[in-house]
Amino acid sequence: MPIYTYKAKVKPDTFRNGTIEAESEKAAINKLLLLNYHPVSIKSKSEENIRKFSFSKKITSKDIYIFLRQLANLNIAGLPIVKSLANISSQSHNPRLRLIVWNLKEKLQKGNTFSEALSFHPDVFGTFEINMIKSAETTGMLDEAIEKIADLKERDIAFNNRLRSSMAYPVLLLSVGVITLLVLTTFVLPKFITLFNDLDQELPILTQMLINTSMFLKNYWILLGVVAGFAIFFIQKQLKTKKGKFLFDGLKLRIPLIKNIVLKIQIARFARTLGSLIQNGVPIINSLKITSEIATNLVFSSEIKHMHTQVTKGQQISMALKDSSIFDKNTLDLIGVGEESGRLDKMLFRIAEMNESESSGLIETLLFLVEPALILSLGIVVAIIVMAILMPIFQMNFLVQ
């Protein structure tokens, strides 16, 4: 049974705080009145706990996906949504999510719709999920909508996992290379410097440059570390601002190959999200607004906002994007065909599949080029260091002979 915390007046100048068990908030108030307590405020214990755990373990996309998948499966099995939420809450390993799911159950018991309950937690459930659920509640297709959202979350997680696994080897290779160079220049090379000084001869330019670099790193490594740390802090702080993120997102769209990958990913997510919203009965103007809000690239988001403005004025999507520098002609043609045939959602799903496939291919191509380039670059740098160390030794042997 839910537990409520209350503050009640027991005497003209006396207040009491406490907790009480009741089936609902109204029942809790009635119990307090029977005790001659006059409630001033009453809140569900779970709502207080949610605030208490607001800075605890973060709720990840995977946590939300698991919650939605479990809810979809239980609903399809015929379990009432309130009971489904109670079961999921008891099984969740994330304490904050467990409390939020329990709070969703309580909101439903108070008479709120599921979409209204979700809207109480905007930091966990976005406008896309809320509007998909809200539309499904009016059409009686709630189970299908929850499953569709779970499918979209699963696609995003799978794509991000593939991207991380693809980047693992290049990142490991770069890390090992950087560590190797630091060890050579800060520990190995200084041992040769004493030997070179004892030779009392002019060193090759390459060797002298390497020695100067090594001594600089050895003498100023603390300063370099502080400067690097400050630079990273400053960049991260700027990226948290709207202006800084907009500039960074714009920069990504100017780098060859990276530009194509970012655009393909953004177009795929835009098309799949918009297609899902339209298919679920959300009005196209609202769908475009929601899609612009959840786009991760601000430059791309501004393009969708411009499209939303034009569509609000009565233009078709394909016409609103006619002068766009972001959407390619093939995408515009498919959107136009979808609008004319009345099957826009189907065409958007096809656009999403095409761009997902192309982005995966571009990422594989980029990694195929990056891996040998990293190996070659590190090999050249190590070879130069070794050559710089050996040149004075060979020079000394030549003089001795």
Window from 77-86, 185-194, 288-297 with minimum mean pLDDT? 185-194
Q: Give a yes or no: residue 172 inside a domain.
A: yes
pLDDT value at position 3?
A: 67
> Which residues are CB-neighbours of 99 under 8 A, at least 6 positions away?
46, 49, 50, 53, 89
Q: Please count the other Cβ atoms lying within 10 Å of the Cβ belonging to residue 356.
A: 19
Instruction: Indicate the average pLDDT of the chain.
Output: 83
pLDDT, mean of residues 94-116 = 86
The domain that holds 206 is classified in CATH as 1.20.81.30
Higher pLDDT, 195 or 62: 62
The answer to whether residues 172 and 42 belong to one domain is no
Question: Domain count of the chain?
Answer: 3
With H, G, I as helix, E, B as strand and everything else as coil, classify residue 17: strand
Q: Please count the other Cβ atoms lying within 10 Å of the Cβ belonging to residue 161.
A: 11
Higher pLDDT, 207 or 304: 304
User: Which of 40-49, 94-103, 330-339 is the most confident on average?
Assistant: 330-339
Query: What is the pTM assigned to this prediction?
Result: 0.72
pLDDT value at position 396?
A: 66
What is the per-residue pLDDT across 341-397, written as a single tens digit (0 to 9) for each?
Answer: 888 899 999 999 999 888 888 888 888 888 888 888 888 888 888 888 888 777 766
The answer to whether residues 174 and 271 belong to one domain is yes
Q: Which of 78, 80, 83, 76 lies closest to 101 in space, CA to CA?
A: 83
The answer to whether residues 310 and 283 belong to one domain is yes
The answer to whether residues 92 and 18 belong to one domain is no
Element (H, E) at 11: strand 3-11
- pLDDT over 70 at 48, yes or no: no
pLDDT value at position 1?
A: 55
pLDDT, mean of residues 277-285 = 87
Distances (CA, A) of 293 to 320, 368, 394: 18, 34, 65
Q: Give a yes or no: residue 264 inside a domain.
A: yes
pLDDT value at position 320?
A: 85
pLDDT value at position 350?
A: 92
The answer to whether residues 187 and 268 belong to one domain is yes
Of the residues 123, 153, 183, the one at which a domain ends: 153
pLDDT, mean of residues 119-126 = 85
What are the tokens at 52? 């208490």
The answer to whether residues 379 and 280 belong to one domain is yes
Q: Give a yes or no: residue 42 inside a domain.
A: yes
Q: Give a yes or no: residue 55 inside a domain.
A: no
Q: Give a yes or no: residue 161 inside a domain.
A: no
Window from 185-189, 264-268, 278-282, 331-335 with minimum mean pLDDT? 185-189
Higher pLDDT, 208 or 54: 208
Q: How far apart are CA 98 and CA 85, in angstroms?
A: 9
The answer to whether residues 185 and 330 belong to one domain is yes
DSSP secondary structure letter of residue 1: -
Q: Give a yes or no: residue 160 inside a domain.
A: no
Q: How far apart are CA 218 and CA 188, in angstroms?
A: 12
The answer to whether residues 174 and 297 belong to one domain is yes
pLDDT above 70 covers what percent of the chain? 92
The answer to whether residues 44 and 117 belong to one domain is no
The answer to whether the beta carbons of residues 131 and 282 sit under 8 Å apart is yes
- pLDDT over 50 at 55, yes or no: no
Window from 84-88, 99-103, 130-134, 182-186 with minimum mean pLDDT? 182-186
- pLDDT over 80 at 13, yes or no: no
**Rounded to a whole number, what is the largest CA-CA distance in the chain?**
110
The answer to whether residues 316 and 294 belong to one domain is yes
What is the per-residue pLDDT across 229-276, written as a single tens digit (0 to 9) for each?
Answer: 999 999 999 888 889 999 999 998 888 888 898 999 899 989 998 998
Higher pLDDT, 3 or 118: 118
The answer to whether residues 132 and 260 belong to one domain is no
Q: How far apart are CA 169 and CA 177, in angstroms?
A: 12
With H, G, I as helix, E, B as strand and everything else as coil, classify residue 39: strand
Q: Give a yes or no: residue 84 inside a domain.
A: yes
The domain that holds 25 is classified in CATH as 3.10.20
pLDDT value at position 401?
A: 53
Return the ∠ at Cα 281 (arms to 66 and 158), rounded to 5°. Answer: 30
The answer to whether the beta carbons of residues 317 and 332 sit under 8 Å apart is no
Q: Which domain holds residue 15?
A: 3-48
The answer to whether residues 351 and 282 belong to one domain is yes
pLDDT value at position 208?
A: 83
Q: Give a yes or no: residue 115 inside a domain.
A: yes
Provide φ and ψ at 23, rounded to 5°. Answer: -70, -30
